[in-house]
Amino acid sequence: MSDVNELHRRWCIADSHADSLMWNRDLCARSTEGHVDFPRLLEAGVKLQCFTIVTRGFPFIGGFPAFAAWRGWPRAARASEWSRALWQIERLEEFCRRSEGQVRVTTTAAQLEQNLAQGRLSAVLGVEGGHAIEGRVERLAELHQRGVRFMGLTHLSNNDLGGSSFPMMGNRGLTPLGHQVVEEMGRVGLSVDVAHASEHTLEELFAHSSVRFFCSHTGVRGAGGGWRNLSDESLRRIADRGGVVGIILAPIYLGGDTLEDVVRHIEHAVSIMGEEGVGIGSDYDGMVALPRGFRDVTDLPRLTEVLLRRHPEPWVERILGGNYRRFFRETLGG
């Protein structure tokens, strides 16, 4: 078997979900806190990392402003969901400026390929929950102009766009505003992240032909695990549209706390979607545990080792980033 660290240096290792920005850590500095920062990502050989913008918390707590105050956000940044989104974008821009050319907010397919050629980490921005635009559809164009390339319509609760997969949310569908937002996302070039969408909202999302779909972080229902996992039918629908599903590393959604449980979900998703439809969507820094013995992103080679015991290198390379490289080449724009 090839040296795993060497494979990570050569491959386009990609991960489609990290909530690191909300914690207000200096991502340029190596930390013992959390799962992700630039030095640890680079050590692990990651070439593409999606950073998601969170602006609202759990529905039964409603304490995101208190969380942000605890993490030292400026008062103005905490004022509204829109201000929270813009502040996180600005923070990532600042971190990239200070990275001495090691990391770049990546907004085009050409930039992605250039970054890979030059050994630079591509940071791709997404929004977790369309409530961030506060009902103003014209803000989608501003998000795209600011470098955002995907958005999930809902997060941990229903909002003015549609229904959340969170328990006891009533399995609501898209609202009229939600349909309008999806069409505008297609127009401006934002992909739809279907993570956290209710079954009803998912069905109505799939009826839209003008947008690209993927799922940044999830388990799969056919392999067991938690309430928000995707059904086989949803996996097929995403694969049919050229999307990728990022398998989450959180044991609560995997039905087990080992790397073998992660592999079980990956293999089931591949059996439904094919080898081109599955990736890794860790949910780093997302207030969830990682598998036993997996501390942070620098332990990612351990997952690679487990996969290589069961599958050939080209198969593993696609799962660990080749599929997301293809997806973002197709969706980032020119």
**Residue 238: is its pLDDT beyond 70?**
yes
Q: pLDDT category, 84, cuts 50, 70, 90?
A: very high
Residue 164's DSSP bridge partners are: 197
pLDDT of residue 1: 47
Beta strands in the chain (DSSP E): 13-18, 46-54, 103-105, 121-128, 148-152, 191-193, 213-218, 245-247, 278-280
Does domain 4-331 fall under CATH 3.20.20.10? My reply is: no
**Separation between Cα atoms, residue 231 and residue 255, nearest integer Å:** 15
Q: Which residues contact 12 (CB under 8 A, 6 or more apart)?
A: 47, 48, 116, 321, 322, 324, 325
The two tokens of residue 225 are 């695990």
Give residue 32's pLDDT.
95
Is residue 169 within 8 Å of residue 129, measured between CB atoms? no
- Average pLDDT (144-154) is 97
Per residue in 91-136, pLDDT (tens digit) is 999 999 999 999 999 999 999 999 999 999 999 999 999 999 999 9
Is the separation of the CB atoms in 251 and 289 below 8 Å? yes
- Residues 156-189 have pLDDT tens digits of 889 999 999 988 889 999 999 999 999 999 999 9
Give the pLDDT of residue 228. Answer: 86
In the chain, what are the domain boundaries? 4-331
193 forms beta bridges with: 152, 214
Q: How far apart are CA 280 and CA 15, in angstroms?
A: 5
Q: What is the rounded distance in angstroms from the CA atom of residue 256 to the CA atom of residue 133?
A: 36
Ranges 27-36, 54-63, 231-240: which has the least confidence:
54-63
For 240, list phi and psi in degrees, rounded to 5: -60, -25
Q: In whole angstroms, how far apart are CA 48 and each of 223, 229, 234?
A: 27, 24, 25
